[in-house]
Structure 1
Amino acid sequence: MSTAFVARSLDEVRFWSRIMKEHSLFLRLGFRCEDTQLINEANQFYSVFEAIENRANTFDKNTDPQVIQRFNVEVHTAVSHIWAFKRKILGLILQCQLPGANNFPLLVDHTSREAFYFRNRLEQLNAGKLDPLPDAIINENVFFLRIMADHAKFIGHLLDPSERKLVDQAREFSEDFDKLLFQARDLDSMRPQSQTPPLLDQFLDQNRVSVKSLRDFKKTASDLIAACRIKSIIHPLLADHVYREAERFLHIIDMFESALTGQPMPSMSFE
């Protein structure tokens, strides 16, 4: 246990607890008015993760690592519960038990994958066993590239069909990230032979270019939605939500690049 463990734990919990809180809101907004039990459960999860987020903000890097380790266990329990809730919703939708609701099955699956990722990261942190750099580069990119591809699809479907140019742009981003994801999975299946510094460096460089473009597109869309300048059914908070996730992916890519080129990257390890 070290200050690096504390800092990394707080960074993960602060970011992802807010994401889980917002997922609760988005899912609630997609339920039908008669789905009172699901609405109540979503509201409860919103409160749980808001409390976690607020509590995480009371800690700092000098907090006793054992306190943070126990906190991570508590958060892990909450994330496990919201993951199960999301999978329950997905089952109801796919079994046609929520006709007329407005949560896409892919969106619900998407949010559950993020919960699973968060839960797994908490387990890694408490065990002190983060992936070695070559594995982390591939694993994180496979995860986030799919997240970015999903975002582009959601944006395309939630924009008004009359916003033809923006819909086309979203579709192009979806296709681009699908291709990047396939390439990442190819690199994954070629492990460990594929994990050479030159290949990983090129992999990061290529992904960074596309993520920056998508990040800028999301920022523009978010600003336009907030100003009521385009037609869509995208909640302003959802537009900001997907923008923040793109920003985080870029931050992760930059940290990997720094480590790969021999520069220190303290936030990515316990060393």
Structure 2
Amino acid sequence: MSNAFVARSLDEIRFWSRIMKEHSLFLKLGFRCEDTQLINEANQFYSLFEGIERQAHSHTVATDPEQIQRFNVEVRNAAAHIWAFKRKVLGLVLSCQMPGANNFPLLIDHTSREANYFKNRLEQLNSGKLDPLPDAIINENVFFLRIMADHAKFIGHLLDPSERQLVEQARNFSHDFDQLLFQAQDLDSMRPQSQTVSLLDQFLDENRVSVKSLRDFKKTARDLIEACRIKSIIHPLLADHVFREAERFLTIIDMFEQSLASVKSK
């Protein structure tokens, strides 16, 4: 374990604990007034991840790696618990036990996939068994491309139907990212033969262009929502939430492209 382990762990926890905290809020806002137990559970998760986020910002890269390793275990367990909560809620919605609730099943599933991703990443960091670069490139893109496709669908459904141009743009992004996801899954199924530097480089280039376009669309939507200039039922925090996840994906693509460039230069 080293400073790099500490820095990577804190980066993951600072980003994803805020995401988990906000998921708790969004789920709560979609519950019915009578869902008091679920509302209480969501509030508890909000407080839990708010505390984790605060604690993560209190640490620095100089913090003892063993202390961060223990922190990772604590946060991993919190992520596992919120994953279980989300799957419970999904089961209630899909079995029609919450008629009138306002959380889309796909949105609940989406948030649970992110909790599982967070949990798995902390396990990888603590075990020291991160994916080799070619596997990491495909795995991260398969995960995030689906997240981006979901976001486009949610935006299209939560905008007021009278916002026809924006709704159409969201639908187009949904289609584009579904196609990119299918391509990524094809590359995945062709492993390891598909993991050449040239194919992975082109893969990242293509995804970068599309993610940047979606990121810019989300930024515009966020700014318009915050200024109350468009009609929607999108919470301003949700608009910023999906924007930050697109920014995260672009940062990851940048990191992979730099790593591939190092491989090519050898």
TM-score, normalised by the number of residues in structure 1 = 0.97
Distance in 1 between residues matched to 2:136 and 2:78, nearest whole Å: 25
Is 1:110 aligned to residue 126 of structure 2? no
Q: Equivalent residue of 1:261, what SS?
A: helix
- Note the alpha carbon deviations across 1:121-147, whole angstroms, 9 max, x for none: 000000001000000000000000000
Structure 1 residue 97 displacement after superposition: 0.2
Is 1:224 aligned to residue 224 of structure 2? yes
Alignment-mate amino acid for residue 236 of structure 2:
P
Distance in 2 between residues matched to 1:220 and 1:235, nearest whole Å: 14
- Note the alpha carbon deviations across 1:182-206, whole angstroms, 9 max, x for none: 0000000000000000000000000
Distance in 1 between residues matched to 2:132 and 2:3, nearest whole Å: 19
Structure 2 regions of 5+ residues with no counterpart?
A: none
- Note the alpha carbon deviations across 1:86-117, whole angstroms, 9 max, x for none: 00000000000000000000000000000000
Alignment-mate amino acid for residue 30 of structure 1:
G
Structure 1 regions of 5+ residues with no counterpart?
A: 264-271
Q: Where do 1:197-208 residues align within 5 Å?
A: 197-208=197-208
In the alignment, which residue of structure 1 is the partner of 2:123?
123
Q: Equivalent residue of 1:259, what SS?
A: helix
Distance in 1 between residues matched to 2:129 and 2:3, nearest whole Å: 16
Is 1:84 aligned to residue 87 of structure 2? no
Distance in 2 between residues matched to 1:215 and 1:58, nearest whole Å: 30
Q: Equivalent residue of 2:262, what SS?
A: coil
Q: Where do 1:1-271 residues align within 5 Å?
A: 1-262=1-262
Distance in 1 between residues matched to 2:53 and 2:251, nearest whole Å: 21
In the alignment, which residue of structure 2 is the partner of 1:267?
none
Alignment-mate amino acid for residue 14 of structure 1:
R
Alignment-mate amino acid for residue 153 of structure 1:
K
Alignment-mate amino acid for residue 229 of structure 1:
R
Distance in 2 between residues matched to 1:207 and 1:73, nearest whole Å: 33
How many percent identity over aligned positions?
Answer: 83
Alignment-mate amino acid for residue 242 of structure 1:
V
Q: Equivalent residue of 1:57, what SS?
A: helix
Alignment-mate amino acid for residue 13 of structure 1:
I
Structure 1 residue 241 displacement after superposition: 0.1
Structure 1 residue 149 displacement after superposition: 0.0
Alignment-mate amino acid for residue 206 of structure 1:
E
- Note the alpha carbon deviations across 1:44-89, whole angstroms, 9 max, x for none: 0000000000000000001000000000000011111000000000
TM-score, normalised by the number of residues in structure 2 = 0.99
Q: Equivalent residue of 1:5, what SS?
A: helix
In the alignment, which residue of structure 2 is the partner of 1:266?
none
| Count of aligned pairs between the two proteins | 263
Distance in 2 between residues matched to 1:87 and 1:3, nearest whole Å: 35
Structure 1 residue 224 displacement after superposition: 0.1
Alignment-mate amino acid for residue 63 of structure 1:
T
Structure 1 residue 226 displacement after superposition: 0.1
Q: Equivalent residue of 2:83, what SS?
A: helix
Structure 1 segments of 4+ aligned residues over 4 angstroms from their partners: none
Structure 1 residue 250 displacement after superposition: 0.1
